[in-house]
Structure 1
Amino acid sequence: MTATVLVVDDEPDLETLILRKFRKQVRDGGISFLFAHDGVDALQAIEQHPHVDLVVMDINMPRMDGLSLLEKLQEREDKKSAIIVSAYGDMSNIRTAMNRGAFDFLTKPIDFADLEATILKTIRHVEVLREARRRQAEAERAHASLSRYFSPELAKRLAVGGDDDDMQVRWREIAVIFTDITGFSSFVETAVPGVLAELLNEYVGGLTDVVFAHEGTVAKVIGDAIQVLFNAPGDQADYATRAIACAQALDQRAEAFRERWKQKGVDFGTTRIGVHAGPALVGNFGGDRFFDFTAYGDTINIAARLEAANKTLGTRICVSDSVASGARKFSGRPIGDLVLRGRSEPLRAHEPLSATQFHAPVTEQYMTAFTKLEHDCAAAMSAFAALVGTHSDDPLASYHLRRLLNGAKGIRIQVG
């Protein structure tokens, strides 16, 4: 790469002497020179040739001296490296120049061997700075992109390239969360555009904050829907526990959000959440030109189906047995063996509960009724009827009672 040097001096013979001294470097394409007679000409030359790498300048010049020019150069975003040239007896000005950011200095009369060595040394310094700035810019761009997906600390770590292998596409065990909002399409059709933008930004931003607080990865945001991964890109031994805790925190944030907007007269839909764990193909599927860290496979599809199953069940969170059994001290109640759309084998599903809900008498009453559902539908019907009679606000108990009244049996449930 050719280095461009701007020489600023009002001595008429200097241009000829420099070109003669550096004729080999110029001929080989290592260095090119521009010349200006004072600071004003120099600034004009830099505007016309912004790729200038180095400025060699005299201190004493008409119209604008070297110190003033140096100050102007330091104000630029692309601060130019500078070499100051002045008489040996002018050490006070040379010291001022060095304090203002000059890289080096030469004294007059110029020793051209010293000039060559100083220019080459400074060019090497410029190349090091340029490479450092390039790396910093790349890291900042990477961090900006990664911050859309990962928690701030993980994004910072990945941006500097420390965990490049984690970006490669490969099979790994993960937990997946899918969220969606009931009736969102209809809501969009009637919502005022300004209100919709404010509402969605607050909603998605709030849920993303929850995900990052649990060190999850946001794989996709499509309108109102969010897909979250755990144990990707880095290893998380407790990924199942994190996923369930995150799902419950997302539910709490979404419900608080919905209530807040309801008080403003906006009827925002309920957020439904599905969680599943299993193997998936995970990594950056965007190649070298586009970053798209996501996951594919049956595990992803099941999580999406569990999210949709909430609509039928009346629940807000539905988690598979694979993620519940992998979580530490899971607290929840069984929903049933769900036969999800597109699948023939049933999948045991649960509704996670807070510690307070799990130890409440109503949960014990539900467990008793569910156990009967597995063996004696008539007894189960009476148990669920008694439960709904005292807790009519329990949608899952009401769902089981309706099933039994419509002639359904057992815990196998066709959904979707």
Structure 2
Amino acid sequence: MTPTILFVDDEPDLEALILQKFRRKIRDGLLAIMFARDGIEALESLEQNPHVDMVVSDINMPRMDGLSLLQKLQEAEDKKSTIIVSAYGDMSNIRTAMNRGAFDFLTKPIDFADLETTIEKTLRHIEMLREVRRRQAEAERAHAALSRHFSPELAKRLAAGSDSEGIEVQWRDVAVIFTDITGFTSLVESAAPETLGGLLNEYVGGMTEVIFAHEGTVAKIIGDAIHVLFNAPGDQPDYATRAVACAHDLDRWAQDFCVRQKARGVNFGTTRIGIHAGAALVGNFGGNRFFDYTAYGDTINIAARLEAANKQLGTRICVSSSVAEAAANFQGRPVGDLMLRGRSEPLRAFEPLPQDKFDAPATAQYAEAFARMEAGDAAAMPAFAALVGMHADDPLAGFHLRRLLNGAKGIRIQLD
């Protein structure tokens, strides 16, 4: 775009001199020049021509002088870089001009070589400022996009360019969390739109805050379902431990949310959580126009199927052995060897437990009954029956008891 300069001066001969001096640049489209006779005319011209890049203004003019014009220009939202022209001996005005934000000054009579040099310097400064603003705007847009996926601190680093290589598509070892809500389709069909919108926004907002507190990455939110990654885009050596801790906090938050909604007469479903760890293809799959940081691969599919397995098992959280083995001080109980849809080999799964439940006597009773079931011991059935008799609210124990009563043996579980 051709740089445009507004000259503000009431000397009648100045316009002809300026046009003569810069005729070649004007002819070649390298410069555009406009003129105004005083400060008021200059402000009117700038209002009609906001594309003007810079102003060169005399001080002594009728109606509005150059210092008053300079003050008006500095008060405007789009501040114009201004060169003030004054008589050589008028240093007090020059100091005032510089204090009011003038970029530079020239003395009269004007040395046109000096004028040309000063204009070129000012235009370079203007271009530099525009580049800074452009990069700032890009960073703000990037931060807005990244904030949908990453914790605020990580989003700032990525928007600033740090760790940007983590955004590129690559194979990474990750821990993956999938969450979903039971009965959400029925809620969608029965709830008023304004009620559903408020519920879902509060739920997703609260769950996302928990995820970000553990420095997890939100890969996708599809309706009520949330897909979370750990160890991407940045390195998190303890990613399995983080994922388990995050799942516990998500479970607690979701249960509290359900209680709050029930008090308001809303039957909000239970949140189910599945976790698996392994290699996945991770990165920005949005092409040149969109930002879509997500992950693909068998690891992702298994995590999603573990989430769905909770429905049959009666559990709220189900994790694979790869997570249980990698997480520090993992506390939980075995679920069994799950035959997940689309897999030919069984996958050992566990139910992670919070400290109080892990330390409870019922967990030791369950471990003993499970060991008997794994060994094919007929005593497994009465052991689970006794456990359910004392803890009727233990859905996983009830699930195994029903299996055994229906003739199942061992710990291999075929899921629908």
TM-score calculated relative to the size of structure 1: 0.97
- Which residue does 1:171 correspond to in 2? 171
More deviation, 211-220/376-385: 376-385
* Cα distance between partner residues in 2 of 1:368 and 1:200: 41
Residue 31 (structure 1) aligned with residue 31 (structure 2): yes
Aligned-partner residue type, residue 126 of structure 1: I
Q: Compute the displacement of 1:97 (Å).
A: 2.1
**Which residue pairs with 2:83 in the alignment?**
83
Aligned length: 416
Corresponding residue of 1:335: 335
* Counterpart in the other structure of 1:146: 146
Which position in structure 1 is the counterpart of 2:157? 157
Distance, in Å, in 2 between the alignment partners of 1:283 and 1:243 is 19
1:241 counterpart = 2:235 = no
Shift of 1:137: 0.7
Q: Deviations over 1:117-151 (max 9, x none)?
A: 11111111111111111111111110111011011
* SS of structure 2 residue aligned to 1:172: strand
| SS state at 1:198 partner | helix
How far apart are residue 42 of structure 1 and its match?
A: 1.9
Bigger CA drift: 161-170 or 298-307? 161-170
Q: How far has the Cα of 1:250 moved from its partner?
A: 0.7
CA–CA distance in structure 2, aligned partners of residues 2 and 265 of structure 1: 65
Structure 1: distance between partners of 2:127 and 2:268: 56
- Displacement of 1:360 in angstroms is 1.4
8 Å Cα contact 1:377-1:404 kept in structure 2 = no
Spell out the pairing of 1:329-408 with structure 2 (5 A cutoff).
329-408=329-408
Residue in 2 that maps onto 1:203: 203
Q: Secondary structure at the match of 1:262?
A: helix
Greater shift, 34-43 or 260-269, is seen at: 34-43
Please give the alpha-carbon distance, in whole angstroms, between the structure 2 residues aligned to 1:362 and 1:199: 35
User: 1:91-118 deviations in whole A, cap 9, x for unaligned?
Assistant: 3333222222111111222222221111
- Where do 1:26-105 residues align within 5 Å? 26-105=26-105
Q: Which amino acid aligns with 2:242?
A: R
1:30 deviation in Å? 2.6
Distance 2:267 2:165 in 1: 45
Are 1:310 and 1:316, in contact at CA under 8 Å, matched by a contact in 2? yes
Report deviation, 1:65. 2.5
Q: CA deviation at 1:28?
A: 3.4
The aligned counterpart of 2:292 is 292
Counterparts of 1:63 and 1:315 in 2: how far apart (Å)? 82
Question: Using the alignment, how far apart are the partners of 1:144 and 1:87 within structure 2?
Answer: 50
Q: Given residue 257 of structure 2, which amino acid in structure 1 is its aligned partner?
A: F
Match of 2:111 in 1: 111
What is the CA distance between 1:82 and its match in structure 2? 0.9
The answer as to whether partners of 1:98 and 1:104 remain within 8 angstroms in 2 is yes
Give 1:77 shift: 2.6
* 1:56 partner amino acid: V
CA displacement 1:319-358 (0-9 Å, x = unmatched):
1111111111111111011111222211111111112221
CA distance in 2, matches of 1:182, 1:377: 35
The letter for the 2-side match of 1:251 is D
Q: Residue deviations 1:172-204, cap 9 Å, x none?
A: 111110001111111011112222222111111
Q: Distance in 2 between matches of 1:300 and 1:77?
A: 49
**Residue type matched to 2:74 in 1?**
Q
More deviation in 406-415 or 176-185? 406-415
Matched to 1:350, the amino acid is: F
Cα distance per residue 1:192-241 (max 9 Å; x no partner) = 22222221111111111111111111000111111001111111111111
Q: 2:252 aligns to what?
A: 252
3-state SS of paired residue (1:255): helix
- Alignment-mate amino acid for residue 195 of structure 1: T
C-alpha separation in 2, matches of 1:320 and 1:380: 23
SS in 2 for 1:413: strand
The DSSP-based 3-state class of the residue aligned with 1:102 is coil
TM-superposed CA distance for 1:272, in Å, is: 0.5
What is the Cα-based RMSD across aligned positions, in Å?
1.4
- 1:268-291 Cα distance to aligned partner (Å, 9 max, x none): 111100100111111111122111
What SS is found at the alignment partner of 1:378? coil
Question: Measured at CA, do residues 64 and 189 of structure 1 come closer, stay the same or move farther in structure 2, by a change above 3 Å?
Answer: farther
Q: Show the counterpart of 1:126.
A: 126
- The residue matched to 2:45 in structure 1 has which SS? helix
Cα distance in 2, alignment partners of residues 246 and 12 from structure 1: 76
What is the CA–CA distance in structure 1 between the aligned matches of 2:194 and 2:219, rounded to whole Å? 27
What's the % identity of the aligned pairs?
A: 75
Alpha-carbon contact 1:377-1:409 (below 8 Å) kept: no
- Asked if structure 2 preserves the Cα contact closer than 8 Å seen for 1:84 and 1:106, the reply is yes
Give distance in 2, aligned partners of 1:60 and 1:197.
63
1:309-328 map, 5 Å:
309-328=309-328
Listed one character per residue, the Cα deviations across residues 22-41 of structure 1 (whole Å, up to 9, x for unaligned) are: 22332333322122222222
Describe the SS at the equivalent of 2:373.
Answer: helix
Q: Which amino acid aligns with 1:178?
A: F
**Aligned counterparts of 1:384 and 1:62: Cα–Cα separation in 2:** 100
Instruction: Note the alpha carbon deviations across 1:5-36, whole angstroms, 9 max, x for none.
Output: 11112222212111211223323333221222
1:183 counterpart residue number: 183
Letter in 2 for 1:150: F
Separation of aligned partners in 2, 1:307 and 1:391? 24
CA-CA distance at 1:377 after TM superposition: 4.8
Deviation at 1:296, TM superposition (A): 0.5
User: Using the alignment, how far apart are the partners of 2:32 and 2:339 within structure 1?
Assistant: 74
